[in-house]
Amino acid sequence: HKAEATPGRPRGYRNAKSVVAGPIVQKVSGRTLAEEMDRRSMKRIGLRHTCSRAPGDMTIREPHPQRYQRNPAHGPRRDFTELDPSAGCAAGQLISTNSDLNRFFTALLAGHLLPAAPLA
């Protein structure tokens, strides 16, 4: 593959790798991405306020923040809080709290989820 960015230069974020990872995880494990994330990481590091929604499930546990988005072509801000997670595939299925995000990144960077080599 061609390099995505030159070292020292900014690069844009893309969800493509996350979108592709979901079906691969499901094919290899025989379980949904949500089941695998729950089994391999969420329970293991104690993410009590993080959940993965299945495609079509637009419910969100309470309490939660509202998500608003403004598209100049559509006028004023619109509430996009309850958005079907299948729109983002594996890149958009998780809902979490700030404290659980902190717990996740602490565990990740401490090597509790992945070996050190992929994080270098």
Structural domain including 73 reads 16-114
Structural domain tally of the chain? Answer: 1
Nearest in space to 33 (alpha carbons), one of 95, 75, 90, 91: 90
Angle ∠(65,56,99) on CA atoms, nearest 5: 30
Q: What are phi and psi of 101, to 5 degrees?
A: -60, -40
pLDDT in tens, 1-48: 577 677 777 777 777 888 888 889 999 999 988 888 888 888 889 998
What is the Cα–Cα distance from 74 to 45, expressed in whole angstroms? 41
Its pTM stands at 0.67
Predicted local confidence at residue 102, as pLDDT: 95
Residue 10 in any domain: the answer is: no
Query: Average of pLDDT values for 70-95?
Result: 77
Higher-confidence position of 36 and 116 = 36
Residue 1 placed within a domain: no
Q: Which among 66, 76, 86, 68 is positioned nearest to 22, based on CA atoms?
A: 86
User: What is d(CA 39, CA 43) in angstroms, rounded to the nearest whole number?
Assistant: 6
Q: Is 81 within the bounds of a domain?
A: yes
